[in-house]
Amino acid sequence: MKAFDLVQARTVQEAAGLLPVDPADKSAMLLAGGQDLLTELKEHLAEPDRLVNLKGIPGLDAMTWEADGTLVIGAMVTVQDLEEHTRVRETLTALHEAAASVGSPQIRSVGTVGGNLNQRPRCWYFRSEEAHCLKKGGTHCYAAVGKNRYNAILGGFPSYIVHPSDLATALVALEAEVTLVSPSGERTLKLDDYFTLPREGSYQRETVRLPNEVMTSVRVPAPPAGMRSTFLKMQERESYDWALSAVALCLWMDGSRISDARLVLGGVAPKPWRCASTEALLQGRSPTTEATARAAGADALKDARALSDNGYKIPLTQGLLRRALQKLGA
Ligand SMILES: Cc1cc2nc3c(=O)[nH]c(=O)nc-3n(C[C@H](O)[C@H](O)[C@H](O)COP(=O)(O)OP(=O)(O)OC[C@H]3O[C@@H](n4cnc5c(N)ncnc54)[C@H](O)[C@@H]3O)c2cc1C
């Protein structure tokens, strides 16, 4: 690992001021729980001269509820704190379930919400020191024709990574926003707009975050009355594993029929994959019938293009969606 300086920032503004302005300048990076970043350093994926530590900055590890029921989660709140929060479990069940599905108890106790949302993809070509892939400035996405069992079936071209964050899948379904602070001010944007597809932005980044912006908080709006939500995930191992596929579903019911829905898929695309047309299709249907599950599954995956080894993700995701509809409709 290349030697680096560790700088303790006292305020968010100070932290932002220690970061580079130019995207090509990789000399400094933010450190939160360090679980992903330290692996990147050990694998020479990142080689900054300076790490700016966010730990200890007042306010960043706080979780607060505003009078209207909006939840504000500081970027340094741990995944475990989120998982164990009673009101989150009761009112934002999908977020609780996503937090509870992350890694293992040890990982959840150290990993932060900001670090989770900004962690880098798990694609083994990206993670391998030897592979100079598209995401690292190379000319090819090796997953396109290589080992692609864990890669994207939706929105992948030309780089077939999948977004690794389970919290992101649930938070996009809950229509969360993120606040970013830089030396020139503050901006808040929808989490859905924070993440980018490879064809939309730089192949080398997964978000629109500027190099000198610090994510300070995530705002989850008060759920409209009557919302039921769930997050279901399929992983290869029981713990310590990212999603092969995941579904975050929010439903509102009018009697036995769905009056409104929000659906986001995880583990299948380079960003959390919102399914707007499926949300519209679900309106007025009974959630527990086979016809609804089939129609919703077909619509949600209609644009899927499997690579050589990941076609299994299509029925897997449709099965998760069927289970989510049955769970919330029961
Ligand atoms: C074995 C293992 C299994 C895991 N399984 C899962 C899983 O199933 N699901 C899942 O969702 N996650 C999983 N994770 C990820 C884990 O939950 C952590 O969230 C993740 O490693 C990063 O969190 P961190 O706080 O350690 O961030 P760090 O490693 O410190 O930072 C990660 C990245 O985010 C940037 N960053 C950190 N904070 C901010 C901020 N406030 N603003 C802007 N940028 C920031 C850093 O510069 C760095 O690039 C797993 C991790 C491991 C090691």
Question: For residue 252, is it within any domain?
Answer: yes
Residue with CA closest to ligand 1 atom 51: 103
| Residue 146 is assigned to a structural domain of this protein | no
Tokens for 240, please give them.
Answer: 């310590």
Domain that holds residue 313: 228-329
28-31/50-53 β-pairing: parallel
pLDDT in tens, 19-45: 999 989 999 999 999 999 999 999 899
Position 238 scores a pLDDT of 81
The confidence score (pLDDT) of residue 144 equals: 96
d(CA 158, CA 168): 22
- pLDDT(239) > 90: no
Cβ(103) to ligand 1 under 6 A?
yes
Residue 215 beta carbon below 6 angstroms from any ligand 1 atom: yes
Residue of 163, 157, 150, 164 whose CA lies nearest to 312: 150
Assigned domain for 292 exists: yes
- For residue 7, is it within any domain? no
Q: Is the CB of 198 under 6 A from ligand 1?
A: no
Query: Does the Cβ of 212 fall within 6 Å of ligand 1?
Result: no
- Helix runs in the chain, H state only: 12-17, 37-42, 79-84, 86-91, 93-101, 105-110, 113-118, 124-127, 166-173, 191-194, 276-282, 290-300, 313-329
Looking at residue 118, its pLDDT comes to 98
pLDDT for position 77: 98
How large is the C-alpha radius of gyration of the chain? 19
For residue 82, the CA-to-ligand 1 centroid distance in Å is 14
Confidence of residue 229 (pLDDT cuts 50, 70, 90): very high
Q: Is the pLDDT of residue 326 over 80?
A: yes
**What pLDDT, in 10s, does the model give residues 172-215?**
999 999 999 999 999 999 999 999 999 997 899 999 999 999 99
Please indicate whether residue 182, judged by its CB atom, sits closer than 6 Å to ligand 1.
Answer: no
Which of 7, 29, 37 is the best mutation target for the ligand 1 pocket, counting ligand atoms within 8 Å of the beta carbon and taking the most? 37
In a domain, 278, yes or no: yes
Question: Tokens for 279?
Answer: 């949300």
Amino acid (1-letter code) at residue 311: G
Tell me the CATH number at 240: 3.30.390.50
Query: Using CA positions, which residue lies closest to atom 36 of ligand 1?
Result: 115
What pLDDT, on a 0 to 100 scale, did the predictor assign at position 292?
98
CB distance 115 to ligand 1 below 6 Å: yes
- Choose among 165, 218, 180, 168: nearest CA to 15: 180
Amino acid in position 72: V
Environment class of residue 306 by beta-carbon count within 10 Å: exposed (0-12), middle (13-18) or buried (19+)?
middle
Q: How many helices (H) and strands (E) does the chain have?
A: 13, 12
Q: Give the number of C-alpha atoms closer than 13 A to the C-alpha of residue 200, restricted to the C-beta side.
A: 13
Give the pLDDT score at 284: 98
Residue 165 covered by a domain: no
Quote the pLDDT of residue 197: 96
Res 98 pLDDT > 90: yes
Predicted pLDDT at 303: 98
C-alpha–C-alpha distance, residues 220 and 192, integer Å: 12
- For helices 93-101 and 166-173, the axis angle rounded to 10 degrees is 170
Total number of domains constituting the chain: 1
DSSP letter (8 states) at residue 147: -
Q: Which atom of ligand 1 is nearest to the CA of 60?
A: 41
Q: Alpha-carbon distance 271 to 319, whole Å?
A: 20
pTM: 0.98
Residue 322 domain flag:
yes
Q: Mean of the per-residue pLDDT values for the chain?
A: 97
State residue 143 phi and psi, 5-degree precision: -65, -25
Nearest residue (by CA) to ligand 1, atom 14, is 103
Strand residues in the chain grouped as ranges (E): 5-8, 28-31, 50-53, 63-65, 71-74, 177-182, 185-190, 214-220, 228-234, 245-254, 257-266, 273-274
| 46: number of Cβ within 10 Å | 18
Burial of 297 (0-12, 13-18, 19+ CB in 10 A): buried
289 in a domain, yes or no?
A: yes
Query: What does the block give as tokens for 247?
Result: 């579904």
Q: pLDDT tens, 145-179? A: 999 999 999 999 999 999 999 999 999 999 999 99
Predicted confidence band of residue 317 (pLDDT cuts 50, 70, 90): very high
pLDDT(305) > 80: yes
